[in-house]
Amino acid sequence: MVDFPVLSLMTFLPIAGVLIILAIRGDEEVVAQNTKHMALYSSLFTFAFALFMYTRFDGTSAEFQFVEQSSWLKPLGINYHMGVDGISIFFVLLSSFLTPICILSAWDVVKTRVKEFMIAFLVLESFMIGTFVALDAVLFYVFFEGVLIPMFLIIGVWGGKRRVYSAYKFFLFTLLGSVLMLVGLLALYSETGTTDIPTLMESNIPIGLQYWLWLAFFASFAVKMPMWPVHTWLPDAHVEAPTAGSVILAGVLLKMGGYGFLRFSLPVFPDASAFFTDFVFWLSVIAIVYTSLVALVQEDMKKLIAYSSVAHMGFVTLGLFTATSQGIEGGIFQMISHGLISGALFLSVGVVYDRLHTREISRYGGIVKNMPKYATVFMILMLGSVGLPGTSGFVGEFLVLLGAFQVDTTIAALAATGVILGAAYMLLLYRRVIFGPRVNDDALSMPDLNARELGLLVPLVLLIIWLGVFPGTVMDKISPSVDKLISNYNERLELNVDPAAGPALIEYEEEGTQ
């Protein structure tokens, strides 16, 4: 434990960076240079704090740690409440780890409005971390939805040709979700009189209401995830987003939905979660099979990886709602692993995009000869993506399937076909881009990875392998919190099945309306 507010520091350090950047004056060149450095330093400091927090984190405890709590909107009982547990800590680490990588990846690539770009990224980082450490539903909502603004700008301003359409689509989908979630939040507050997440987890909400609230929150999380059929914004957003935007989008933003399921749907609405389990299962399985098949026929590298992300997120939702420790831990692990793998994959696409300015798969081919290092890195990432044992991709996928198999063998078997399809589209991509006929001369004259690109990709690759061989590094710290989540979940389910629990429920309702 530490005696200073490390979580607030991490959340607002990037904002401090923004303030300094705003103060930078001079001609454009100098401003751009200084801005980049400032942005990098603030994100690196944030990461350093995150690492520090990680070393001080007690992995044997399921409690929230580094808790900060003070009055915010006092009359309403809405507090500024922050804390991390085993479920959220790795998302904080992931966010703060990927941000400096993104800033570095944009170093020589983003040439227009550099200052604004860096500001957007730092604000984004602040909101991402805020989302994962917030322990008050209102605070969470502000960060969770606030993320949209910088992301929206990053796609809309620094994106590709159809950036306007994509940004609009991104906006429309997420807005729809967030409005419903807001309504749900209001209803939740009126029922329980609190927005404090740990308190909400203890509250027993009437089952009838749970269903509606669950659906309202689900709308928002499902869009963020994204789950089938509200996934179509993602491929477009990815295709148009600049590389750094794609990395953060795939690496962290998609995980917010899953995190939301873990923080709200399962612990606060356990009966509704149990009720809707089959519904989520089928959506997940459809997502896995459907989007894998769609990925198979893509001609655009980024679209292909985007569709593969939807399929991988299908595994996550499947795992989370099995409510088994393998399923949930696998789901969390899958999110972290996918954050690293898909982030690195989008970086890799960025590498060749920077050289050839096209994402068309058929414009490449045979580049293994001139880019052997790139081919090696891309190979390892591809293997991670198809879930080869020894990479982090395997651990998550396998545990999710193991969890699912205990609940429903049919669902598990259908989801497992995604593993076959996943191999098909990734191998096809690799074959067409890296091997394949050597017909495009410009592709064949591309230089191999430079030191900066290697420096960005190698840490990711090493982490992917490390977590594949020693997943305990992450898993051990997740376990206590997940165990607690599951035991609470099961207790609450039993409580409501038990007819003796009836009076207690009514009593509670009376309390709520007082």
Partner 1 sequence: MELLAVFLPLVAFLIAGLFGKQMGDKGCQFVTCSAVIVAALASISLFFDVAYGGGPAYTTLLADWISSGDFSVKWALRIDTLSVVMMCVINIVSACVHVYSIGYMSHDDAKGRFMAYLSLFTFAMLMLVTSDNLLQLFFGWEGVGLASYLLIGFWNHKETANAAAQKAFIVNRVGDFGLALGMMAIFVIFGSIQFDEIFQQVPEMQQSYFSFLGMEAHALTVIGLLLFIGAIGKSAQLGLHTWLPDAMEGPTPVSALIHAATMVTAGVFLVARMSPLYEYAPDALMVVTVVGATTAFVAATIGLTQFDIKRVIAYSTMSQLGYMFFALGVSAYGAAMFHLMTHAFFKALLFLGAGSVIHAMSDEQDMRKMGGIWKKIPLTYGLMWIGSLALAGIPPFAGFFSKDIVLEAAWADGTWFGHYAYYMGIAAAFMTAFYSWRLLLMTFHGEPRASAKVMSHVHESPGVMLGPLVILAAGALLSGLVFYQGFVGSAGHHGEESHVEEQIEHAEQVLHEEAHEVNEEVSEAIHIRDEGAEVIHAAEDEHGEGEHTVEEFVLSKETFWNDSIQVLAANDTVEAAHNVPKWVKYLPLVVGLLGIGLAYIFYMFRPNAPAVTVTSFKELHTLFYNKWFFDEIYHKLFTRTAFLLGLFFWKYGDKKIIDGYGPDGSASLTNKIAGIMSRFQSGYVYQYAFMMMIAVIGLVSWFVFKGSSTGGTF
Least distance to partner 1 from the beta carbon of 139, Å? Answer: 11
C-alpha–C-alpha distance, residues 321 and 329, integer Å: 11
Lay out the site mask for partner 1 across 210-239 (x = CB under 8 A, - = otherwise): -------------------xx-xx------
Q: Show contacts with partner 1 in window 149-208 (CB under 8 A).
A: 149, 152-153, 156-157, 164, 167-169, 171-173, 175, 179, 182, 185-186, 189-190
C-alpha–C-alpha distance, residues 494 and 512, integer Å: 22
Q: In this chain, which of 138, 200, 288, 306 binds partner 1, going by CB under 8 A?
A: 138
N- to C-terminal Cα distance for the chain? 38
Type of residue numbered 475:
M
Q: How many CB atoms lie within 10 A of CB 43?
A: 27
Q: Show contacts with partner 1 in window 361-380 (CB under 8 A).
A: 366, 368
Least distance to partner 1 from the beta carbon of 128, Å? Answer: 16
Name which of 273 and 479 has its Cβ closer to partner 1. 479
Is there binding between residue 420 and partner 1 (CB under 8 A)? yes
The 10 Å CB-count burial string (b at 16+, else e) for 130-145 is bbbbbbbbbbbbebbb
Would you call 299 helix, strand, or coil by DSSP? coil
Least distance to partner 1 from the beta carbon of 302, Å? Answer: 15
Least distance to partner 1 from the beta carbon of 112, Å? Answer: 12
Q: Show contacts with partner 1 in window 273-332 (CB under 8 A).
A: 290, 293-298, 324-326, 329-330
Least distance to partner 1 from the beta carbon of 164, Å? Answer: 5
Name which of 78 and 254 has its Cβ closer to partner 1. 78
Name which of 5 and 512 has its Cβ closer to partner 1. 512
Is there binding between residue 40 and partner 1 (CB under 8 A)? no
Name which of 266 and 416 has its Cβ closer to partner 1. 416
Is there binding between residue 130 and partner 1 (CB under 8 A)? no
Name which of 331 and 350 has its Cβ closer to partner 1. 331
Summarize the chain as % helix, strand, coil (round to 5).
75, 5, 20
**SS3 sequence, 302-371?**
HHHHHHHHHHHHHHHHHHHCCCCHHHHHHHHHHHHHHHHHHHHHHHHHHHHHHHHCCCEHHHCCCCCCCC
Name which of 68 and 483 has its Cβ closer to partner 1. 483
Note whether 271 and 210 are within 8 A (CB). Answer: yes
C-alpha–C-alpha distance, residues 397 and 422, integer Å: 11
Sequence-ordered list of residues with C-beta below 8 angstroms from that of 129, at least 6 positions apart, any chain: 7, 10, 11, 14, 46, 92, 95, 96
Is there binding between residue 148 and partner 1 (CB under 8 A)? yes
Q: Show contacts with partner 1 in window 421-440 (CB under 8 A).
A: 421, 423-424, 427-428, 431, 435-438
Least distance to partner 1 from the beta carbon of 294, Å? Answer: 4
Q: Show contacts with partner 1 in window 450-469 (CB under 8 A).
A: 469
Angle between helices 28-56 and 89-105 (to 10 degrees): 160
Name which of 188 and 254 has its Cβ closer to partner 1. 188
Least distance to partner 1 from the beta carbon of 494, Å? Answer: 19
* # residues near partner 1 by CB under 8 A: 86
Sequence-ordered list of residues with C-beta below 8 angstroms from that of 508, at least 6 positions apart, any chain: 203, 204
Name which of 47 and 218 has its Cβ closer to partner 1. 218
C-alpha–C-alpha distance, residues 430 and 444, integer Å: 15
C-alpha–C-alpha distance, residues 13 and 83, integer Å: 17
Note whether 264 and 293 are within 8 A (CB). Answer: no
Q: In this chain, which of 30, 48, 51, 76 binds partner 1, going by CB under 8 A?
A: 76
Q: Where would I find the H helices in 193-300? A: 197-202, 207-224, 233-240, 243-248, 254-260, 266-268, 270-275, 277-296
Name which of 32 and 382 has its Cβ closer to partner 1. 382
Note whether 374 and 367 are within 8 A (CB). Answer: yes
Least distance to partner 1 from the beta carbon of 181, Å? Answer: 10
Is there binding between residue 497 and partner 1 (CB under 8 A)? no
Least distance to partner 1 from the beta carbon of 310, Å? Answer: 10
Least distance to partner 1 from the beta carbon of 1, Å? Answer: 26
Q: Show contacts with partner 1 in window 377-416 (CB under 8 A).
A: 383, 388-390, 394-395, 398-399, 401-402, 405-406, 409-410, 412-413, 416
If we measure between CA atoms, which residue out of 128, 159, 132, 163 comes closest to residue 146? 128
If we measure between CA atoms, which residue out of 173, 190, 279 comes closest to residue 236? 173
Least distance to partner 1 from the beta carbon of 501, Å? Answer: 26
Note whether 86 and 478 are within 8 A (CB). Answer: yes
Name which of 54 and 168 has its Cβ closer to partner 1. 168
If we measure between CA atoms, which residue out of 154, 88, 105, 107 comes closest to residue 457? 105
Is there binding between residue 470 and partner 1 (CB under 8 A)? yes
| Per-position DSSP letters for 205-218, written without gaps between them | --HHHHHHHHHHHH
Name which of 53 and 421 has its Cβ closer to partner 1. 421
Q: In this chain, which of 73, 462, 497, 504 binds partner 1, going by CB under 8 A?
A: 73
Least distance to partner 1 from the beta carbon of 298, Å? Answer: 8
